[in-house]
Structure 1
Amino acid sequence: MDYIYICNTGSDSISKVCLKDFKEKTIDIYKEHERVGPHGICGWKSYVLVANNYNDTMSVLDIIEDKEMCNYYIGVHCNDLKVFKDHAYIVCGESNTLVIFDLINGKIIREIPCGNMPHSIDICLDTGMAVVANMESDDISIIDCVKNEGLKTIKLYGSYPTKAVFSKDGERVLTCESNIGMDCNGKVNIASVKSGRSIATIETGKSPVDICIEWSKSMAFVSNFLDGTVSVLDLDILEEVDRIYLGGMPRGILKHKRCLYVGDNYNNILNRYDIYKGNKNVITIGKEPNGMTLI
């Protein structure tokens, strides 16, 4: 993993950041007379796939040539996507659907209903299960990617879930309950896939929107969009054990080796924070950085 790819929703571009020298290269996916709005991103073979908010498409980028190879119309307001067995699973926020796209044959093969305004998706490759965070219905959808059918809906305690990810074994789901617009902190909800119920919550900062997990140390890092911080969670004792102030509006978050990489949606920068030394470096990237992936 030598690069971070970042969706710059406001400038219709992808930032390719080299982790060795912490320098950025811009990959433009701008369309003449049309906004694109890249929002969600993931890797597939020697490509990067991008879910585009504004023109309802999925872009396919060649990471060797650093350019867009093609794009496909998917559905209204594509928010996020993941890959399972050469199929892209793309959540469409305005049609409330999960669209399944055959990457080999270049066509949509199925649509599965979700909750209201699905915002993110994660897939456990070991179990073949997907989880979708539905912002407006305050729940998560569990989907079987082997049979391509919906299994269950898990109701959450908080409001406006933004990101849901599986535990390493696929038995639990950790969801950012952002509570956006409310005068209270957000929480990370931990739910059992088997029982379909929430089993614990951990309070974070204001409006948690993204989460990355270091399972070897049972730690999670959560970006809090409205107070400029990152919550550090101990998943063994189910508590927030630290809060790192970065400023701005932290959005996408990833951990690689000793550093956190956090996009600032307000200042249009990427933070690199050394969790052992407690210092940070920043570089300027595109406007409104959102989804991020390591490749």
Structure 2
Amino acid sequence: MNTTTMQRVTESAPPHDIELLPGVTDAAQAAGARLLTLFSPHARPHDRAEMLDAIRRNEQASLVGLREALETLRPGIGWVEEEQETAPLPPGEWWVVDAVEGNVNHVHGMSDWGVSVTLMRDGMPALAVFHQPMGNFTWTAVRGAGADINGRRLKVSDKTMLDAAIVVTGQAEAGQQEANRRIANSVEHMLQHALLVRTTVPSTFPMLLIAAGQNDVFWQVETVLSGIAAGILLVEEAGGTVTCIDGSPWYPGKRDVLVAAPALHSAAVDALRTTH
């Protein structure tokens, strides 16, 4: 881990998180290295079956070593399973992991994929690492100590008007008709207010760009915790605002999320008000 980052984190983070961050970073980077050996920019699955086989291969290659490394670092911490990703978390500490965030991009030869690890503590993200092997970018955040990319401090946009904003949303899981209606409705409304409206998958990448000040607003309906936990902490520690789409507090089990540069949050809530 970058020495400057370590010095900065040491100043204000809880001691146990200070000690944990380098090991979590190493584990995420090691998983990313395994995935990189399986990556080809020329990959083009021929059909759904071939795509799903490649997705499962990637998941296994990343997860086996990653889970072992994290459980060695902190024995006894809970591990969020699939059925818990849309429900409130019990008290205590939990690992929330997406072993291949953006897996569908990986198997199609695209670059937006990575390894996401978040430590949740009593319902809030406390530590997050996202490693993006393509470009060798590692995004880290510890609650109370700021957010960084490769040791450089992150800061959200200081824009104040939605008509100058780049706003982003994502697709829900295929087949969710009500979620798709809400997404389509929200995009239509945002097209009347924002400078640019984009849709993308997975959720983590636009959230990273909000933490870096390159995007301004992101919202998502029918969220999965592993896809947003790291991004939530990175945005918050970079100075951004995180709520549900209606402006109410976000916590695990909520089915939507809105993250924004602070001065744009109220305008985003207003623009999305009829899409709840």
Normalised to the residue count of structure 2, the TM-score between the two structures is 0.29
Q: Which structure: greater helix fraction?
A: 2
Which structure exhibits the higher relative contact order, with contacts defined as CA atoms closer than 8 Å and separated by 6 or more residues?
A: 2
Normalised to the residue count of structure 1, the TM-score between the two structures is 0.28
Q: Which structure: greater strand fraction?
A: 1
